[in-house]
Structure formats: structure tokens, C-alpha cells
Structure 1
Amino acid sequence: MILIPLGKHHPITFKKPVDKSLPLLGIAMSENEVLDGMFDIYRTNQSGIQELYYTIKVIEATIVDLAVYHPHSITHAGAQPQETISLRYKSITWTHHIAGTSAYSIWDDRVY
């Protein structure tokens, strides 16, 4: 019998400015709250108009990492504080709206 290794899912990570949601995200992480989320990604097209071109949807996600970055006030005076959030999810869907393609995957233990 030959075992073929399957792809391994990693948490999805995103960055955002520090805002009023930080304490709420911290509580959600500490209480292991199950979340659903959708990330709509926009770009400027050739006509100069913002268009939705990509969507990532996660189902039954939990926050597994929450980190805050405060830039050095002298060397990076123009930078704003950011938070990095990592989500582990049960399923994920990727959709490229412009190309009309999509795919999904379910993160399980894949025991055969």
C-alpha cells in the first residue's frame, strides 16, 4: 500500500489596524468562540473603479493567534499599530469573481 501525502491546511492570517474590535476578538479567542467569516478583496480595475475580485469564506473558525504590533515611534513615526489574527477553520471557500473560478476544502483529520 502506498500512502500519498495530502495537502495540509494552515490557519488563515490577516492584518488590520488596531481598533475597537481588538478587545472583542480577544474575548472570542479566550472563550474559543466559533465564528463564520467572509473576506471580500477589492482592486482598482483599468477604468479606475473599485471591483470585487476575490472572496475567501471560512466556516466554523476559531481565533488561534492574536498579536499586536506597535511600530517604533522614532524609526517608524508614520506607521500605525496593527493586529495580526490567525483563524483555524473547518471549511474554506475561495472564489475568483473575475475569472469565474471557485473551490472549497474541508479541514478534517483525513483518516483513511
Structure 2
Amino acid sequence: MLPETYGADFLADAICHMLDECGVGLVNVLAGSYGSAIGYEIARRYPGRVGRGPGRHAEIRDADHMLILERTAETADLITRFLAGKPLDGLPYRRSIERVAPAVRLAPSPER
């Protein structure tokens, strides 16, 4: 377990370090639940290594945190469509889609 002082930035750096050690360059980033913050941080900190990345938030109808275990067919279809660049519109199991963007970090103001 990590100390609470380690946040999504540390975990994003750790994942990218692991990818470097494995010789993996460009990756598609798909994240859910608490991993979403890490996925957005990877896209923000390492935009050049993200092929398809966080930018859409999709909800499946009548789903909760057990989605991956209870709704495997819908989850697999949604992931496959995302990774293949196929449209997510009109899916009978989908509730909503939102386009989102990571927050832009502003440069620190110069000290006076």
C-alpha cells in the first residue's frame, strides 16, 4: 500500500517507467473508476506516448462498480469499440457519453 502522499502523478510516472523498462512506446489508455485519474495524468504528462486516451466518459445503463464482473459482454463491446476507433453512438446499453479533457496546468507565476 502506498502512503497517501503518493498521488495519481506518482502512479502515472511509475506506469510510464514500467512501459519504458518493457520497451513499450505508444499505448492506448483506457481507465475506469479510480484509475481514471491515473489515465488522465498519463495523457497530460506524457501526451506523445498516448495513441487513444482518456477523453470520453461513457456510462452503461443500470451499472454500478461491479460492471466489469456483471456486464462483461457490454463492457467488452465498449472497450473494443473504443480501441478500434468505432462510434459509441446508438448502443442499446449505453446511457451517456461525455467528452472530457484533463485540466490544463498553468505555469507558476514568477516570484516578485
- Higher-Rg member (1/2): 1
Instruction: Point out the structure with the larger strand share.
Output: 1
Instruction: Point out the structure with the larger helix share.
Output: 2
| TM-score, shorter chain, exceeding 0.5 | no
TM-score, structure 1 as length reference: 0.25
TM-score, structure 2 as length reference: 0.25
